[in-house]
Amino acid sequence: MKTDSSSTSSPLSTTERAKLALKRTVFAPWRKYGASLMAVLFAIAITVAILAFRQQLRALAGLGYLGVFLISILGNATIILPVPSLALVFAGGSVLNPLLVGVIAGLGEPLGELTGYVAGYGGSVAIEDGARFERIKRWMERRGFLTLFVLSAIPNPVFDLAGIAAGVLRFPITKFLVACWLGKTLKTVTIAYLGSLSIELLSPWLG
């Protein structure tokens, strides 16, 4: 004897319908536009900070491209010394040639990422977010080069896990560096040009 599934399913309660409506009206737009909004706010905040501390940023120009290179290495060697290197690339694009800033930073960042790779290779690192690490490790097992390239090209907090996973899996170090270099150069050139463009657009209004 067949049973009618529609007759056995209970209708949504008033509270459940209210929660569903809240998700559709409030959380759905945030999921769609939240990341873009945060990126815009971050760019504006960095730009205003650069304009407010222009004299201090001239010191970066004084260091020149060697300074950009060294800061990019340190900024990505997060196991040793966390440095906001992307903010400095953004700032460097406003006081130096943005193309050269991006290219040089793109050369330095993969060298900094070797700290995570070596830690994973030697098995000398403890992973707190085990579930996320295992997911990224599976990506590395299937499409290692592509995973490294994509995570390098997009500013995100999980690339260190990919670097560690690459070391754990004994991913060839040459391919690791090439994938990081391609992705990070794309990212740093873009950020350096955004820094240059932001200064040009906002300077007339901020004096």
Q: Is the model's pTM score more than 0.75?
A: no
- Residue 72 falls in which region: left (phi positive, over 0), alpha (psi -120 to 50) or beta: alpha
pLDDT band at residue 129 under the 50/70/90 scheme: low
**What is the token pair recorded at 155?**
């500013």
pLDDT, tens only, 45-96: 555 555 555 555 556 556 788 888 988 888 788 654 455 678 888 888 888 8
With a cut of 50, say whether residue 7 has pLDDT above it.
Answer: no
Question: Which of 20-34, 44-58, 98-112 has maximum average pLDDT?
Answer: 98-112
pLDDT at res. 57: 54
Cα separation, 167 vs 78, in Å, equals: 16
